[in-house]
Amino acid sequence: MDVCVIGAGYVGLTTSAVLASFGHHVHCVDNDELKISMLLEGKVPIYEPGLEELIIEYKEKGNLVFTSQLSDAVKSSSIIFIAVGTPLSEDGMADLSFYQAVADELSTLIDSYKTIVTKSTVPVGTNNKLQRKLLEKGVSAENFDVVSNPEFLREGTAIYDTLHPDKIVIGVNKPKPVATLQKLYQQIEAPLIITSLNGAEMIKYASNAFLAVKISFINELAKISDAYDVDIMDVALGLGTDPRIGPHFLQAGLGYGGSCLPKDLTSMEHQAQKQGITPHLLKAAKTINDSLIDLYVEKLKSKVTNLPTKRITVWGASFKPNTDDTRHSQALKLIDQLIEEGCEVHVFDPIVTVDKQVTNYKEMYESVKRSDVLIVATEWKQFTQADWALVKEKMKGETILDCRNCLSPRTIKHHGFTYLGVARP
């Protein structure tokens, strides 16, 4: 099938590469000329494990082309995916300006039947509005159908998640496009959830809101457990074995960040308020998440006197391991707070260079040289498997703050350090 994917970000590139690997002919379009010229040279502008290899392979096979010319791509495709960003606007609502710009362009280009599929996360009602807008702009009703097909991939495991999703959600107003998407995705084995356009949009927000609430729940328990000298890892283990709760997303620590959970929770809150509903649980999840940076800085202050005079190394800047994405990164917020406290901050991240008043390092062990404190802010594998004897040799001080509960307190203490964490006695 000929497919046009609009937006060459995490979702657009992964969708394009996976559909090309299924044998479809994919035109991936982005209006960022720089991005397209990089992709044309076989360079992928984001760090996502396995993505560059997959893109190069199917680009060379001729199944995947990159362009900034939307019109040609639309003309030669029967399925059009919209995968542009929908960030938060200043007032906390989803900023749909990129999405609307695409809708405007499409309205001038469609002159034969197209299935228009929204992959971007958009507020409930947006796909219905898209359908009305295209009709108002004169696109014939026979020439298009609109489908809401939200994306559930996680950064860092985007390809695996796209090939092995736990479900495919298809929101439609009539049955016809369902068969088209079934054919497109026939290599994927996953239950289909067929619902209305609004239903599909709500499922996406509900999923991210639930994940955020689950993380804030375990972080609230961590605060309480800390006061009673209870290990939160034991609590998570005990909780997670109950199949009604499940073991995932019970990792307490610095809280959630990234390009999706914070923005989608806030957007869901606004969508509720727009209807006169106060979303108490969603607000609480955000309040708890926002309190975690202070919690860890206070923890540090309780053990390290004269914090502003200290040299502190932070390991990790991305919002989670295996990505270069720093959008809403809790690690960066922690770095900001340490700078504000007056600390001398040194940073090592395997991919990210931090554009702040810090010293960045290319080598992990160099970054801890003469440091008073080491903070692990993102649980990259190289940090959890560090050579602690070497770290001890290089550091001046002996305090390690584990903000992701990813280190073994026993191992850390065994190497002569003071281990600090929340609810990690």
Ligand X SMILES: O=c1ccn([C@@H]2O[C@H](COP(=O)(O)OP(=O)(O)O[C@H]3O[C@H](CO)[C@@H](O)[C@H](O)[C@H]3O)[C@@H](O)[C@H]2O)c(=O)[nH]1
C-alpha distances in Å from residue 396, one per residue of 105, 161, 284, 294, 413 = 59, 42, 40, 25, 16
Q: Which of 205, 180, 43 is nearest to 117 (CA)?
A: 180
Contacts of 22 (CB under 8 A, 6+ apart): 184, 186, 187
What is residue 171's three-state secondary structure? Answer: strand
Q: Is 379 in the site for ligand NAD (CB under 6 A)?
A: no
**Which residue from 250, 300, 334, 401 is in contact with ligand X, where contact means CB under 6 A?**
250
Q: Is 31 in the site for ligand NAD (CB under 6 A)?
A: yes
Least distance in angstroms from the C-beta of 292 to ligand X: 9
In terms of C-beta density within 10 A (0-12 exposed, 13-18 middle, 19 or more buried), how is residue 398 classed? middle
**Which residue from 47, 98, 210, 249 is in contact with ligand NAD, where contact means CB under 6 A?**
98
For the record, the structure tokens of 145 come out as 């159908």
Choose the stretch contacting ligand NAD; rule: CB under 6 A; options: 20-28, 117-125, 369-377, 391-399. 117-125
Strands 79-82, 2-6: parallel, antiparallel or unpaired by DSSP? Answer: parallel
| Residue 253 partner contact from ligand X, ligand NAD, none using kind-dependent CB cut-offs of 5 to 8 Å | ligand X
First to last CA, the chain: 57
Least distance in angstroms from the C-beta of 118 to ligand NAD: 9
Q: Is 319 in the site for ligand X (CB under 6 A)?
A: yes
Please, what's the largest Cα pairwise distance for the chain? 73
- DSSP H or E run through 345: strand 344-348
Q: What is the dihedral of CA 388, 389, 390, 391, to 10 degrees?
A: 50
| Residue 256 partner contact from ligand X, ligand NAD, none using kind-dependent CB cut-offs of 5 to 8 Å | ligand X
**Which residue from 4, 12, 39, 256 is in contact with ligand NAD, where contact means CB under 6 A?**
12
Amino acid at 3: V
Strands 2-6, 25-29: parallel, antiparallel or unpaired by DSSP? Answer: parallel
| Segment 255 to 314, residues that bind ligand NAD, using CB under 6 A | 259-260
In terms of C-beta density within 10 A (0-12 exposed, 13-18 middle, 19 or more buried), how is residue 157 classed? middle
Lay out the site mask for ligand NAD across 135-174 (x = CB under 6 A, - = otherwise): ----------------x-x-x-------------------
For the record, the structure tokens of 39 come out as 């992709």
φ and ψ of 47, to 5 deg? -100, 110
| Segment 233 to 262, residues that bind ligand NAD, using CB under 6 A | 259-260
**Which residue from 15, 63, 162, 251 is in contact with ligand X, where contact means CB under 6 A?**
251
Distance (Å, whole) CA 48 – CA 264? 22
Q: Is 215 in the site for ligand X (CB under 6 A)?
A: yes
Least distance in angstroms from the C-beta of 5 to ligand NAD: 9
Long-range contacts of 34-37 (CB under 8 A, 24+ apart): 35/8, 36/8, 36/66, 36/67, 36/68
C-alpha distances in Å from residue 164, one per residue of 78, 191, 201, 315, 408 = 25, 11, 21, 31, 32
**Which residue from 256, 315, 348, 383 is in contact with ligand X, where contact means CB under 6 A?**
256
Whether 260 sits among the annotated catalytic residues: the reply is yes
Q: Is 83 in the site for ligand NAD (CB under 6 A)?
A: yes
Choose the stretch contacting ligand NAD; rule: CB under 6 A; options: 5-13, 56-64, 165-173, 370-378. 5-13
Distance (Å, whole) CA 335 – CA 359? 11
Q: Is 405 in the site for ligand X (CB under 6 A)?
A: no
- Of all residues in this chain, which one has the CB nearest to ligand X in the complex? 260
Catalytic-role residue among 4, 260, 403, 406: 260
**Which residue from 257, 350, 397, 409 is in contact with ligand X, where contact means CB under 6 A?**
257
Least distance in angstroms from the C-beta of 414 to ligand NAD: 38
Q: Is 7 in the site for ligand NAD (CB under 6 A)?
A: yes
Total of residues contacting ligand X (CB under 6 A): 21
Q: Is 169 in the site for ligand X (CB under 6 A)?
A: no
Q: Is 400 in the site for ligand X (CB under 6 A)?
A: no
- Give catalytic residue positions: 260
Enumerate binding residues for ligand NAD (CB under 6 A). 6-12, 29-32, 35, 83-86, 98, 101-102, 119-121, 151, 153, 155, 259-260
Enumerate binding residues for ligand X (CB under 6 A). 121, 151-155, 208, 211, 215, 249-251, 253, 255-258, 260-261, 319-320
